[in-house]
């Protein structure tokens, strides 16, 4: 059922709206409905040009003409599509990156409908997606920094076509939509019509099942949140109570915990690797890498680490405390509050990365920095990312551990070392 103008106006989120407009049937009907509902004054329209078809630039020009004829703000963005994960997935990721850069607080409006819902469920079932990935698309939800509104999820494609023909709307026919090579197109043009011959309500049934699966996913997330109260410790999971859970509850918690940061759930194969990591002897330096992340076990904790953040610290920075904050790599040492307290002595100082073999003279003895870190429980992967503080060529402070004997604590100012990302947040 297509929403009428009053319903659409009542459902619209507050604030500005940004319509993703391809110029095809679905988004053309949605643009028509939004303007009839009186939402034009707070609507911007963006066309994302993937440059995947010979006529892409012509279509972009047509979209501009139709939108500006309505007196609406129009933007066109050209994107580069990474086809490493497939054309459809690459185009989708490029679209959402463009929308994130353009939204500026606006709610993104898309023309997904009930047939899309059914196709998506079938695709995910055939990929072996878990319950969390089988849930229905929601009319209003968040994806990263975006809020997305899908007002046509209760509408069928044939209803949109009938309305477009009745209102004599014009839209772009993309010939690639008839290409059976993409899996979604194959389902749309071959599989679903065949199923509909035997089960005429197949689209409605699949959409209803997607809603049921969404509810099941919510229940699994609630169970994971309850388990996390006993298992989570900051940004890590405690291995012993995690292993004490039943296999299904443990895997459910792992999926939920990883999905919160990685925005995607791990496959069954990746979960099996994580299970092996959890069961490995404590002295093994085992790890699991997946989708830009690394999972490691250390001192009874399971760590979730961004691969991009694991590069060793490089270079050095000389400065004096009178000059203010000092930065080295992803770290900033500055007065005030922060992650790690650092007593800063007077004089010319140098921040340097740990290279191995350094010693700090404490309590009358030269102690290996690596041993000090081991005693302090600093994970191995953090040690080559951790800056050390020198005065001339003498190591005078290991942040988070202590001062050299040559430095009087009363002569120091208390500064703090923090990741630059945390300061920006």
Question: According to the annotation, is 22 in a ligand binding site?
Answer: yes
CA triple 362-395-365, angle to 5 deg: 25
Question: According to the annotation, is 195 in a ligand binding site?
Answer: no
**Positions of E strands within 227-315:** 232-233, 236-238, 287-290, 293-298, 301-306
Question: According to the annotation, is 135 in a ligand binding site?
Answer: no
Question: According to the annotation, is 27 in a ligand binding site?
Answer: yes
**Positions of E strands within 80-211:** 107-109, 140-143, 146-149
How many CB atoms neighbour CB 418 within 10 A? 19
Question: According to the annotation, is 24 in a ligand binding site?
Answer: yes
Question: According to the annotation, is 179 in a ligand binding site?
Answer: no
Residues 6 or more apart whose CB falls under 8 angstroms from that of 122 comprise 187, 191, 192, 206
Which residue from 3, 5, 71 is spatially nearest to 37, judged by alpha carbons?
5
- Tokens standing for 330? 């992803």
Q: Which residue has the tokens 């939509």?
A: 177
Residue 269: CA atoms inside 13 Å, Cβ hemisphere, count?
Answer: 4
Name 367's bridge partners. 360
* Binding positions: 22-27
* Binding positions for ATP: 22-27
């Amino acid at each position: 059922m297509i929403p009428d103008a009053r319903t659409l106006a009542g459902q619209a989120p507050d604030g500005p709206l940004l319509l993703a407009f391809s110029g095809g049937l679905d988004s053309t009907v949605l643009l028509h409905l939004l303007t009839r509902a009186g939402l034009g004054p707070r609507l911007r329209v963006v066309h994302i040009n993937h440059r995947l078809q010979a006529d892409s630039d012509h279509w972009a020009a047509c979209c501009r003409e139709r939108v500006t004829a309505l007196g609406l703000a129009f933007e066109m963005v050209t994107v580069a599509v990474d086809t490493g994960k497939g054309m459809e997935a690459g185009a989708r990721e490029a679209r959402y990156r463009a929308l994130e850069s353009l939204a500026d607080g606006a709610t993104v409006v898309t023309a997904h409908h009930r047939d899309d819902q059914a196709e998506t469920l079938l695709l995910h079932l055939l990929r072996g997606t878990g319950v969390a990935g089988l849930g229905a698309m929601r009319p209003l939800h968040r994806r990263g920094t975006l809020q997305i509104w899908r007002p046509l999820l209760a509408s069928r494609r044939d209803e949109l076509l009938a309305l477009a023909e009745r209102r004599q709307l014009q839209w772009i026919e993309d010939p690639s939509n008839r290409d059976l090579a993409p899996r979604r197109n194959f389902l749309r043009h071959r599989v679903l019509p065949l199923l509909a011959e035997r089960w005429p309500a197949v689209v409605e049934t699949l959409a209803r099942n997607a809603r049921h699966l969404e509810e099941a996913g919510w229940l699994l997330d609630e169970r994971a949140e309850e388990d996390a109260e006993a298992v989570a410790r900051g940004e890590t999971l405690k291995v012993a109570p995690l292993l004490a859970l039943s296999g299904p509850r443990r895997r459910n918690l792992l999926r939920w915990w990883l999905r919160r940061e990685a925005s995607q759930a791990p496959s069954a194969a990746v979960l099996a690797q994580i299970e092996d990591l959890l069961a490995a002897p404590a002295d093994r330096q085992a790890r699991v890498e997946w989708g830009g992340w690394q999972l490691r076990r250390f001192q009874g904790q399971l760590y979730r680490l961004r691969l991009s953040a694991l590069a060793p610290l490089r270079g050095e920075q000389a400065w004096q405390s009178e000059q203010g904050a000092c930065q080295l790599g992803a770290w900033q040492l500055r007065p005030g509050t922060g992650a790690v307290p650092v007593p800063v002595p007077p004089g010319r100082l140098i921040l340097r990365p740990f290279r191995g073999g350094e010693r700090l003279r404490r309590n009358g003895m030269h102690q290996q920095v690596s041993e000090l870190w081991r005693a302090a429980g600093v994970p191995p992967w953090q040690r080559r990312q951790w800056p050390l503080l020198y005065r001339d060529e003498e190591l005078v402070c290991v942040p988070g551990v202590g001062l050299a004997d040559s430095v009087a604590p009363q002569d120091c100012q208390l500064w703090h070392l923090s990741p630059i990302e945390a300061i920006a947040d």
